[in-house]
Structure 1
Amino acid sequence: MTAAPNPIATHHLPFFVTAPGDTDVLFNVTVVFVVASIVMTGVIFLTIHSLPERMAHKSKKVQLDIVALLCLLALLTHEHLFWFAAILLAFIDIPDFLTPFKSIASSVETIAGQEAPGGVVDHPDSSPPKAVPADQPRQDRKGAARA
């Protein structure tokens, strides 16, 4: 068997035509390119898809769990509305209202002489604190003067 081309064919064949029994280099390059393109498309898709969660995580947002849940729902259900809601929540900074109220509540409990839920307050007696005139320095429970 000879590898001679058909006598009717042109004498100048293009570079991608391979002889019988040879490796088809163009096919192998095309397969590698298509597989790499599919993998890169998936990586780009997942990177863009997790963008709101990464944004909320970097800025230490309070609503990080909600953003993560919306991103996961958008990924699994293919509903783009969840992703848009997640990215809007990642941009919005919801203020922390609970921490100041907890601080106020614990301060009021300390002033009232009640036991705070976070820890045990040492009260030698159950009487309210004594009033001190404004011109005298106050003393804490251990006897040290405070300004």
Structure 2
Amino acid sequence: MLAYAVGMGDHVREMLNPNAPHHLPGFITAPGETDTLMVVIGIVLIGSILMVGNLYLRLHSMPERMAHKSQKLQFEIVAVLGLIALFTHNHLFWIIGLLLAMIDLPDFSTPLRSIAGSVRKIADGDAASDPVESSSEPPPLLTAVETSSRPREAGGHGHV
């Protein structure tokens, strides 16, 4: 509780040093009372530390949040760069992660998966229509003598 020397009771005036001025500022408290200014400043200090820390962590995780919408590999690289920057206090890693998060890398995996799936379907379709592979016996192997004695095809190149 803030107390002024002018508004203080007789028991407080008796505790004051005779050399103290009679008009004390409001932040000076009487002995034994709670220092309200210190409590308020402590709460403001703790609140400001938490707010600045929250702002710093949001700023630090910004590249990861930006890369979250992109490919998994790009997100993981940006996340690792963010952790390295956090633990080493080297801002270059954070800047590289931010630049990597801003760049849209081309998607090579989706077309390659599509091609692989199409090739698999073609291979499965040929296997079902091939009577040799559908039987339980393996196909006969041709020896080198048999392949050289086979007649040449119309193209005349000798390829079998």
The alignment's TM-score, normalised by the length of structure 1, stands at 0.71
2:70 to 40, 60, 85: 60
Name structure 2 gaps, 5 residues minimum.
Answer: 1-10, 132-160
Distance in structure 1 (CA, Å) of the matches to 2:17 and 2:48: 37
The CA deviation string for residues 84-127 of structure 1, in whole angstroms up to 9 with x for no partner, is: 0111111000011122123223324434xx24xxxxx5843217
Question: Is it true that 1:87 corresponds to 2:91 in the alignment?
Answer: no
1:14 to 25, 31, 34: 25
Count of matched residue pairs: 119
1:126 to 123, 127, 130: 130
- 2:48 is matched by which residue type in structure 1? S
- 2:12 is matched by which residue type in structure 1? A
Name structure 1 gaps, 5 residues minimum.
Answer: 116-120, 128-147
Distance in structure 1 (CA, Å) of the matches to 2:87 and 2:41: 31
Distance in structure 1 (CA, Å) of the matches to 2:115 and 2:17: 94
1:3 to 12, 19, 27: 12
- The answer as to whether partners of 1:61 and 1:90 remain within 8 angstroms in 2 is no
Identity level (%): 51
Question: Is it true that 1:101 corresponds to 2:112 in the alignment?
Answer: yes
**2:129 match: secondary structure:** coil
Distance in structure 2 (CA, Å) of the matches to 1:11 and 1:19: 13
Give the root-mean-square deviation of aligned CA atoms.
2.2
| Counterpart residue number, 1:140 | none
- The answer as to whether partners of 1:16 and 1:26 remain within 8 angstroms in 2 is yes
2:40 to 9, 29, 37: 29
| Counterpart residue number, 1:144 | none
- The answer as to whether partners of 2:70 and 2:104 remain within 8 angstroms in 1 is no
- The answer as to whether partners of 1:70 and 1:83 remain within 8 angstroms in 2 is yes
C-alpha displacement at 1:41, in angstroms? 1.6
Structure having the higher Rg: 2
Distance in structure 1 (CA, Å) of the matches to 2:28 and 2:109: 73
Q: Identify which range, 72-81 or 97-106, moves more after superposition.
A: 97-106
Distance in structure 1 (CA, Å) of the matches to 2:22 and 2:82: 59
**1:3 match: secondary structure:** helix
| Counterpart residue number, 1:40 | 51
